[in-house]
Chains A and B, each alone.
Chain A
């Protein structure tokens, strides 16, 4: 490091005015001949201008003081609670805080630029590498230490030490095992397949209200409902797989992709969980019968087995077999025949398997 950039004692700084570069001139532009002699690279400011700047800086610091005080006052004065009160408190606190910070920042900047000298100091750089002697010394010391430790000579010591380290290294990983249960076949089932308490088929109920749906009442073609399983209306784990989208069609609208045996009177139930990465495929366009997932715009043709017509989803939304119970309410006749939601390694071509089983 160099000491060549010593700051001169301020008494020795010549106080010259004429010919000093303007405050905002680039440092390198300064004509070195005009820089004050004896202090290369430290160009003092014009004292008159510096004094003017000082007043400005003082004003800014004062503003910071006032704004800081106002911040504390705002905390006491403005209470929160309702949206409006919170908004007012937020503006008061944030506004005063920002003002205090910014005016302090501007003050410091003016201090640096108008009161402190301009600097164009030079410092030497040295190559990062150590010199050869040092390297040689370190190398020898290392070898000597290795020799002294006996690590090289005593083979048994070396090997058993490595052996000793192995299980200890694994232990933290083993400890993590209880983070969660193993997947098993959990992803293949939904609560639609769980038996109900009274052994009857599980009803479809409207999401939010929990109302069961009478098929006869859900009768306007183009109608759509978001549906959840009765008894699990608030179980998020269950909903993450079992939520349905229920659509009413005119019989002639349905195409071959839809399994008619699983519909009831033109009412079809598809999994609402997008087969891409699992967002709820919540948008429906009546005229085209398209179900659109808002996340990445996978588009499914609801009239044709919810097959993919666009987007990154690779598989149709699975269809749930539905029917009605003796009171005329829509129920699930069984679980989905294939896993719902995003693909996973163990899933395989569940659709093909299901087709094989059916035929």
Chain B
């Protein structure tokens, strides 16, 4: 092809004459995107969000966010003649009277789950590879805002159909709001337009769910993408990859089509789930009434850890001077979420404070190479995971025939002990993996060839590792350590004075000390000398 087709040439000339788009395209058409499976995780979240926008808009065409009472006369026979809210009736209408309505409803719900799950694993990969480090702290903070908003978005969406299950979630929300000291009662009355459940909350949640939060999400996701575009991707360590370059495929044409196909994959899988995996069958639950509840009801997975926290909490409550602080509600509702979100938000800055590392980082860490960070992450996951499991302790108790109270007690202990154990185990594993890496560089990999030496000894011949693997391993970076030593006059440097300074210096040493330094570049000669005359490949004694 010598010239672009007329249609494209004409249109692009038109646009370029008016806004000079050519300059932008010149810089960006061949922008390089590095390749790694874990970079797709964020994309899952992104595409799920797009699917949510599309399916959500479809649903708004029929959904009626009203708590006004109607008598159901639609197609779903078991509920014929039952009094219910207009919201519930319209959700039933979408499910049974609109062609494709049930499908879109289920796709919307599955996409919501995938959206949150995608964000969570994406965030974990950013955390464990240290991709949040300078200059990407802003995108990290945006990400945390996105995750928090997504949880709120899920909560408001879940409440809209006004079935018995969603009402239970709403009731718990109200109870939690009531527990907030001083202003809780007022917030509850303002949110519900008076006493619970009132007649306003569905229409208010509707506005929040379809306008307010999606608008903010859209703005933040755009900012997230722009920053990612400007700062370029991190890349995994490897051959020819440095802090100063990006190695990969160009946006046009390769990445563009890859991204398109990944969007279709995401959509296709969600469509499969929406078709064959029933989700939130609201018609089985019946309309909401505060007097009833279906036993064994479960919230969406991302609310599970809050549910679990509420379940394990002992019954603490303080009364003083005619006021009540319901710690048994307040602590589980705020503390775990607070620890996790605040901890995540502060982590890049705490790490910088401890390591004194102000450099830019574009090569992603392998999790093993920063064992303390990785252990903190796994401890956090364990903390979250224990609470999450506890959110289903009634199911666990029923399925495994363990007493309900035993599971609760187990949870109360495990929520503290579990993370500590996880920390220790992860740390050991990281160090072990680092040893293995050092081993591979120093002695090569087992070739499977056994050799008999003249003196009768058997050895396995080791060959040097493949170049890309070796480069991947050599990508390990040392973690800077603050200068904590005292100078000649016995005065510690500025940052390490006072108790806080000393703690900082100590943590810095613990965080940064490399217990398994990789053999340096010269190891080959050293090694060769040790085993001189034993043949081509490196080798090791057979144990």
Which of A103-111, A151-159, A212-220, A254-262 lies at the interface with chain B?
Answer: A103-111
A176 cross-chain contacts in B, Cβ below 8 A: 190
Contact between chains at A122 and B245 (CB < 8 Å): yes
Q: Give the contacting residue for A279; candidates B32, B171, B268, B405; CB below 8 A.
A: B171
Q: A1-B27, A89-B99, A182-B189 are in contact. Are A279 and B328 (CB under 8 A)?
A: no
B265 proximal to A (CB < 8 A): yes
A26 proximal to B (CB < 8 A): yes
B291 cross-chain contacts in A, Cβ below 8 A: 207, 226, 228, 239, 243, 272, 280
In the assembled complex, the CB of A107 is this many whole angstroms from the nearest CB of chain B, namely 8
B239 cross-chain contacts in A, Cβ below 8 A: 28
Measured as residues with beta carbon below 8 angstroms from the partner, the interface class of chain B is: 35 or more
Chain A 323-342 interface mask (CB, 8 Å, partner B; 1/0):
00000000000000000011
Q: Give the contacting residue for A240; candidates B180, B193, B197, B275; CB below 8 A.
A: B197
A223 proximal to B (CB < 8 A): no
Contact between chains at B257 and A182 (CB < 8 Å): no
Contact between chains at A343 and B178 (CB < 8 Å): yes
Which of A123-131, A134-142, A160-168 lies at the interface with chain B?
Answer: A123-131
Contact between chains at A28 and B468 (CB < 8 Å): yes
B240 proximal to A (CB < 8 A): yes
Q: Give the contacting residue for B175; candidates A182, A276, A352; CB below 8 A.
A: A276
Contact between chains at B315 and A279 (CB < 8 Å): no
Least CB separation from B235: chain A residue? A125
A90 cross-chain contacts in B, Cβ below 8 A: 102-103, 106, 275
A313 cross-chain contacts in B, Cβ below 8 A: 315, 328
Q: Give the contacting residue for A86; candidates B31, B96, B174; CB below 8 A.
A: B96
In the assembled complex, the CB of B169 is this many whole angstroms from the nearest CB of chain A, namely 10
Chain B 396-418 interface residues, beta-carbon cutoff 8 Å to A: 404-405, 408
Contact between chains at A349 and B324 (CB < 8 Å): yes
Contact between chains at B328 and A80 (CB < 8 Å): no
Least CB separation from B95: chain A residue? A86
Chain A 237-274 interface residues, beta-carbon cutoff 8 Å to B: 237, 239-241, 243, 272-273
B262 proximal to A (CB < 8 A): yes
Chain B 228-263 interface residues, beta-carbon cutoff 8 Å to A: 230-232, 238-240, 243-250, 253-254, 257-258, 260-263
Chain A 72-102 interface mask (CB, 8 Å, partner B; 1/0):
0001001111110010011101110110011
Q: Give the contacting residue for B30; candidates A7, A181, A183, A311; CB below 8 A.
A: A7
Least CB separation from A109: chain B residue? B261
Q: A226-B291, A312-B315 are in contact. Are A277 and B195 (CB under 8 A)?
A: no
A37 proximal to B (CB < 8 A): no
A111 to B261, CA, bound (A): 10
Contact between chains at A280 and B293 (CB < 8 Å): yes
Contact between chains at B258 and A312 (CB < 8 Å): no
Q: Which of B32, B263, B405 has the most CB of A within 10 A?
A: B32
Least CB separation from A241: chain B residue? B195
B65 proximal to A (CB < 8 A): no
Contact between chains at A82 and B75 (CB < 8 Å): yes
A296 cross-chain contacts in B, Cβ below 8 A: 307, 310-311
In the assembled complex, the CB of A119 is this many whole angstroms from the nearest CB of chain B, namely 4
In the assembled complex, the CB of B292 is this many whole angstroms from the nearest CB of chain A, namely 6
A79 to B32, CA, bound (A): 49
A82 to B184, CA, bound (A): 45
A48 proximal to B (CB < 8 A): no
Q: Give the contacting residue for B248; candidates A78, A119, A349; CB below 8 A.
A: A119
Contact between chains at A83 and B271 (CB < 8 Å): no
Contact between chains at B97 and A297 (CB < 8 Å): no
Q: Which of A28, A294, A315 has the most CB of B within 10 A?
A: A28
A69 proximal to B (CB < 8 A): no
B446 cross-chain contacts in A, Cβ below 8 A: none
Contact between chains at B292 and A294 (CB < 8 Å): no
A174 proximal to B (CB < 8 A): no
Chain B 264-293 interface residues, beta-carbon cutoff 8 Å to A: 264-265, 267-269, 271-272, 274-276, 288-293
Q: Which of B31, B250, B261, B307 has the most CB of A within 10 A?
A: B261
A120 to B249, CA, bound (A): 6
Interface size on A, residues (CB 8 A): 94
Q: Give the contacting residue for A123; candidates B32, B69, B174, B267; CB below 8 A.
A: B32
B428 cross-chain contacts in A, Cβ below 8 A: none
Contact between chains at B264 and A122 (CB < 8 Å): no
B510 cross-chain contacts in A, Cβ below 8 A: none
B101 cross-chain contacts in A, Cβ below 8 A: 80
Q: A279-B168, A348-B319, A348-B324 are in contact. Are A295 and B293 (CB under 8 A)?
A: yes
Q: Which of B171, B250, B405 has the most CB of A within 10 A?
A: B171
A180 cross-chain contacts in B, Cβ below 8 A: 189-194, 198, 200
B43 proximal to A (CB < 8 A): no
Contact between chains at B292 and A282 (CB < 8 Å): yes
Chain A 263-306 interface mask (CB, 8 Å, partner B; 1/0):
00000000011001111101100000000001111100000000
Chain B 331-369 interface residues, beta-carbon cutoff 8 Å to A: 332, 360, 362
Q: A108-B260, A180-B194, A297-B311 are in contact. Are A346 and B83 (CB under 8 A)?
A: no
Least CB separation from B252: chain A residue? A7
Least CB separation from B100: chain A residue? A93
Contact between chains at A123 and B293 (CB < 8 Å): no
In the assembled complex, the CB of B144 is this many whole angstroms from the nearest CB of chain A, namely 21
In the assembled complex, the CB of A239 is this many whole angstroms from the nearest CB of chain B, namely 5
Q: Give the contacting residue for A98; candidates B250, B268, B404; CB below 8 A.
A: B268
B486 proximal to A (CB < 8 A): no
In the assembled complex, the CB of B523 is this many whole angstroms from the nearest CB of chain A, namely 22
Contact between chains at A239 and B175 (CB < 8 Å): no
A81 cross-chain contacts in B, Cβ below 8 A: 75, 96-97
Q: Give the contacting residue for B245; candidates A7, A125, A243; CB below 8 A.
A: A125
Contact between chains at A29 and B466 (CB < 8 Å): yes
A234 to B35, CA, bound (A): 59
Least CB separation from A32: chain B residue? B240
Least CB separation from B69: chain A residue? A234
Least CB separation from A78: chain B residue? B99
Contact between chains at B196 and A240 (CB < 8 Å): yes
B171 cross-chain contacts in A, Cβ below 8 A: 240, 277-279
A187 proximal to B (CB < 8 A): yes
Contact between chains at B168 and A295 (CB < 8 Å): yes
B316 proximal to A (CB < 8 A): yes
Contact between chains at B264 and A345 (CB < 8 Å): no
A35 cross-chain contacts in B, Cβ below 8 A: none
Q: A112-B258, A240-B197, A297-B408 are in contact. Are A179 and B32 (CB under 8 A)?
A: no
A146 proximal to B (CB < 8 A): no
In the assembled complex, the CB of A72 is this many whole angstroms from the nearest CB of chain B, namely 11
A4 to B27, CA, bound (A): 12
Contact between chains at A179 and B191 (CB < 8 Å): yes
A343 cross-chain contacts in B, Cβ below 8 A: 178-179, 317, 324, 326, 329
A81 to B172, CA, bound (A): 34
Contact between chains at A121 and B250 (CB < 8 Å): yes
Contact between chains at B311 and A312 (CB < 8 Å): yes
A236 cross-chain contacts in B, Cβ below 8 A: 197, 288-290
What are 14 contact pairs spanning A and B, CB under 8 A?
A29-B468, A82-B75, A90-B102, A93-B275, A102-B268, A107-B261, A186-B194, A207-B291, A279-B172, A280-B292, A296-B307, A311-B408, A312-B314, A349-B324
Residue numbers of A with Cβ under 8 A of B are 1, 5-7, 10, 26-29, 75, 78-83, 86, 89-91, 93-95, 97-98, 101-102, 104-109, 111-112, 116, 119-125, 127-128, 176, 179-183, 186-187, 207, 226, 228, 234, 236-237, 239-241, 243, 272-273, 276-280, 282-283, 294-298, 308, 310-315, 341-349, 352
Known: A28-B240, A237-B194. 20 other contacts (CB 8 A): A5-B250, A7-B30, A7-B250, A80-B101, A90-B103, A91-B276, A93-B275, A94-B103, A94-B106, A101-B264, A119-B254, A123-B232, A239-B289, A277-B178, A277-B310, A279-B171, A282-B295, A297-B394, A342-B329, A348-B324
10 smallest A-B Cβ distances: which pairs? Answer: A277-B175, A94-B275, A108-B261, A105-B264, A101-B268, A314-B317, A102-B268, A343-B326, A240-B290, A348-B322
